[in-house]
Structure 1
Amino acid sequence: MRRRTFLELSAGVGAAAAVTWSTPARAASRRPDVIVEPGTAVQAVVDAAPAGATTPYVIGFRPGIYSGQVIVPADRTFLEFRGLGRAPGDVVIADDRANGTLKPDGTPWGTSGSASVTLNGADFRAGNLTFANLFDEAAHPEIANRQAVAVLTRADRLAFDRVRFLANQDTLYVNSTAAGVIARTYFRDCYVEGDVDFIFGRATAVFDHCRIHSLDRGSSPNGYVTAPSTDLANPHGLLFERCRLTSDAPAGTVFLGRPWHPSNDPNAIGQTIIRDSWIGAHIGATAWSDFGTWPWRDARLAEYRNYGPGAIVSADRPQLTPAEAATTRIPDFLGDWSPHCA
């Protein structure tokens, strides 16, 4: 994909420019503890935040682009990134490395290492801003491994409110610290854009009133929205409720997802549930795909009461029963945690 320009980042990319948020911006509950300007090294600000916090420490970002990789350590708890612009596109936190980009020592960064922002601290929050990975695939034909993560989550109780996530392959990596460890993330009124497996991982991740936009790669298939790797012991994987799945890609060229088994882990029985959502025509009659030798029918993939031109009910589109649907709502996935933006 071509490199995004500043105007595209601030105003939206392609169909993203037409995003309208389903609820107004919620009032901030706390004034920023520190306010930063474009050009500030965000990592230095994160490192200066108090360790082991039990109440929010808010970093306010004035409008502009903040470049450079950011890693929030595990001991930086209750950290909050808050965009101070009028819209999420006014503040952009971005980097531009891919899986195959080489480190100074000559070895590749890998998928996890490619992340523009990595979140290891529990109870992180973000609102009214954009996270992006600006890796330019077209400019680097020599790089075969093009996974380029915008955000990697590993901690529990992470909440995102009116946040955009922009990249191509592997945009949003929702993970945990280890297989079998449950980590919950909540996305409200967010926008996620990508093409191949662009929402993936083993975390419990809830998307509430979000827009999920598949890019047109100009290929067939054009991509896969999700690649869950939910551990068998976890009954809650990826949930999309009251979302809009959109695309500029031709009809029937994008899959809802495929089951990812990291390192061929047989216990990674991925779960994606899409319910009460609008689905565009880019999703075809067969909505799920095998992942190598791993068949999609052995994973936990289902829909419920979706609508729109891509919402087809058939033998290749498993549906929840009413009884199953009654126990797969947002509170069921989040358990004893009620996010700040819920």
Structure 2
Amino acid sequence: MTQHLDSKRLQRPAPGTVMAAVLGLVAALSLGVIGQAKAVAAEKAPAERWSDAAHGFASLAGGTTGGAGGKVVTVTDQASLAAYAAAEEPYVIRVSGAIAIEPFGSDIVVGSNKTIIGVGATGEIVHGELHLNPGTHNVIIRNLTIRDSYVEGDWDGKTTDFDAIQMDTADHVWIDHNRFEHMGDGLLDIRKDSQYITVSYNQFRSHNKAFGIGWTTNVLTQITIDHNWFTGTKQRNPSADNCAYAHLYNNYLSAQVADGDPVWTYGNWSRGRTKMVIESSYYDGVQHPYQADATAELVQRGSILRNTTGRTDAWGTAFDPRSFYAYRLDPAAAVPSLVSKFSGPQQRIGVTLHVPSAYPTVQAAVDAVPDQNALPVTIAVAPGTYRAKVYIPATKPKILLQGTGQDRSDTVIVYDTPAEYGGSTGSATVRIAANDVTARHLTFSNDFDEGAVELKGEQALAMKTTGDRIVFEDTAFLGNQDTLMTDSPKLDVISRVYIRDSYIEGDVDFIYGRATTVIERSVIRALSRGSDSNNGYITAASTWTGNPYGFLITRSKVVSDAPDRTFHLGRPWHPGGEPAAVAQVLIRDTALPAAVKSSPWTDMSGFSWKDARFAEYRNAGPGATPSADRPQLDAADARTYTVANYLRGTDGWAPHASH
């Protein structure tokens, strides 16, 4: 904005104080319009059972982070997959769709510091193997289906070596949420002293020799195997040869191949000098559920055996897994349901970029997202205060920016640039130019102190958007003048923004711009600037005259510490005197405080508010007293000016429909 008021408001309370007060206010409201706590709590406690951090032995000795910190790429063909997988630098490689490997049974060599992950449930590698050569380290393979390199008639896998994944003398590898089936030899071969391995939530299906570990006389391998489903397999579920430590828990073995073989049809086998611990697993219709060589050790506790026959060996003391790492055991009785539901590729597992553990700053994570990104990427921001600007360019759509704290105030992105040092756009702490960006559980702040220095312009944006289909959920925007600007690339281009269950504070024109913007079930705080007559303006819309929908504030609550009748609901902003920017603002079904003026709309820069499209409908509270200068929407028009109609556009966008 180019306008500002000369008089200063009183100093703003500390953000923590304001947030605490607002949260208390929201909890106390009886309007039923800002009941965000239940929805937010539900979002923070999803039913899914996965983490983006390795657990078990793969989490030890420096941990397993894969390609974290490297660029994110999406591959749909063999050549791209092979090139990125073998590269020297770290990569997060997203596999989208099925990639058929040629020649049949060939290897894709995976180098160190790589994450290979299927996007949703679509990522498949067909007719080929992922192979980790000796010395490879720090690899994550997740959410893939690897299938169908089986050679007809070679049930015993004696003529081919077409595994799904094979590794020799590798370390720090996490194999998670994959489906392996119908391959030419083993499904998973972990060989020759590979160390610090975790194999979790995978499905081993329709195969003879499922999962082997060892092929060495040394006793070095440490491996965690949990929540895997072995179904329609015969043997090696797994076979663990000369493992220093093999911890198996909450695995589900069912529908074992029954071909009458008295020896080589079995569940788990502790071989050589392996020390194996089995906990709370479930064996259904399995021959030889668990067995151990005389030289090995096997401790079993808490498992359930149903319709089983044969060996259930247990001797020695093995080891205590909790002396290495913490873990949670599910009851054995729950394992069939849990593992059948949550093992294998999951639709909502994609790529999550973690700040600051994998990427030191939010901007670094944004920069890692592929240009022209066609598939969703989550940037998970850990609790903390991040004093830096963030820019999401138009070339990086489909980003979810999500704070991971218990409260939105736990994760704050803040800077302190005023407009005088870079223009209003340059002052923004966060700028979103991309389409299809969502932000959740975060606070955006511009903490420039307008009372500390005398400037020609005091605009200091916390957030500016120009992209389309932008969603803010459970977010806070902290600032004074020009806190939140929702805009579009140019006047006659319509961008849409949906803000729900959020908090916005400011004094002068602190919600402004030309984007079609819906603010629902939120708290808007109009800050006092210490004036007895004019403390500011909540809105300053610059809606294109060809757009019937500008700002809609609905089912919300405006609060203020300003004196009675000193705050405007808004004024019409015509940037650069543009006559085709004709503000459209509707405030409906919202509680208004006594601070709102009885004539709440006012002129701006020579443009009359009466020529703008300002209206109210069914507001309540001491600031909603009717007067001649308060246009009211009639009931018929109110049925048109709805959240759905503001947001629908030509593509039927309906982000509000999910709540």
Give the drift of 1:10: 4.3
Give the drift of 1:113: 1.1
2:655 corresponds to which of 313, 334, 339? 339
Q: What residue identity is the alignment partner of 1:213?
A: R
SS in structure 2 of the partner of residue 81 of structure 1: strand
Distance 2:626 2:365 in 1: 50
Give the drift of 1:253: 0.4
Q: Cα deviation per residue 1:71-113 (whole Å; 9 max; x = unaligned)?
A: 1010110111111111110000011101112xxxxxxx01111
- Matched-pair contact (CA < 8 Å) for 1:196–1:225: yes
Give the drift of 1:40: 3.1
1:22 corresponds to which of 35, 46, 51? 35
The structure whose RCO (Cα within 8 Å, separation 6+) is larger is: 1
* Alignment-derived partner of residue 106 in structure 1: none
2:516 corresponds to which of 204, 207, 210? 204
TM-score (norm 1): 0.92
Distance 1:259 1:166 in 2: 22
Q: What residue identity is the alignment partner of 1:338?
A: A
TM-score (norm 2): 0.49
Tell which deviates more after alignment, 42-51 or 23-32.
23-32
* Alignment-derived partner of residue 104 in structure 1: none
**1:1-342 map, 5 Å:** 8-10=14-16, 12-13=18-19, 15-16=21-22, 18-20=24-26, 22-23=35-36, 24=38, 25=40, 26-27=42-43, 30=348, 33-37=352-356, 40-101=360-421, 109-141=422-454, 143-219=455-531, 220-335=533-648, 336-339=652-655, 342=659
Q: What residue identity is the alignment partner of 2:530?
A: G
SS in structure 1 of the partner of residue 440 of structure 2: strand
SS in structure 1 of the partner of residue 622 of structure 2: coil
- Matched-pair contact (CA < 8 Å) for 2:572–2:582: yes
Give the drift of 1:50: 2.0
Structure 1 unmatched ranges of 5 or more: 102-108
- Matched-pair contact (CA < 8 Å) for 1:10–1:90: no
Tell which deviates more after alignment, 143-152 or 17-26.
17-26
Distance 1:121 1:19 in 2: 34
SS in structure 1 of the partner of residue 395 of structure 2: coil
Identity of aligned residues (%): 42
Distance 2:550 2:35 in 1: 24
SS in structure 1 of the partner of residue 510 of structure 2: strand
- For residues 201 and 34 of structure 1, do their structure 2 counterparts lie closer, same or farther at Cα, with a shift above 3 Å needed? same
Distance 1:248 1:3 in 2: 12
- Matched-pair contact (CA < 8 Å) for 1:10–1:92: no
Distance 1:9 1:42 in 2: 21
Q: Cα deviation per residue 1:120-153 (whole Å; 9 max; x = unaligned)?
A: 0100000011000011112222x22110000000
Distance 1:280 1:315 in 2: 19
SS in structure 2 of the partner of residue 125 of structure 1: strand
Aligned residues: 332
Distance 2:495 2:632 in 1: 26
* Alignment-derived partner of residue 165 in structure 2: none
- Alignment RMSD (CA, Å): 1.9
- Matched-pair contact (CA < 8 Å) for 1:89–1:129: yes
- Matched-pair contact (CA < 8 Å) for 1:99–1:114: yes
Give the drift of 1:51: 2.0
Distance 1:61 1:19 in 2: 27
Distance 2:417 2:24 in 1: 28
Q: What residue identity is the alignment partner of 1:312?
A: T
Decide which structure has the larger Cα Rg and report it.
2
- For residues 330 and 36 of structure 1, do their structure 2 counterparts lie closer, same or farther at Cα, with a shift above 3 Å needed? same
Give the drift of 1:37: 2.9
Distance 1:3 1:91 in 2: 23
Q: Cα deviation per residue 1:22-43 (whole Å; 9 max; x = unaligned)?
A: 1221426846612213993221
Distance 2:540 2:578 in 1: 14
- Matched-pair contact (CA < 8 Å) for 1:82–1:128: yes
- Matched-pair contact (CA < 8 Å) for 2:12–2:527: no
Q: What residue identity is the alignment partner of 2:43?
A: A
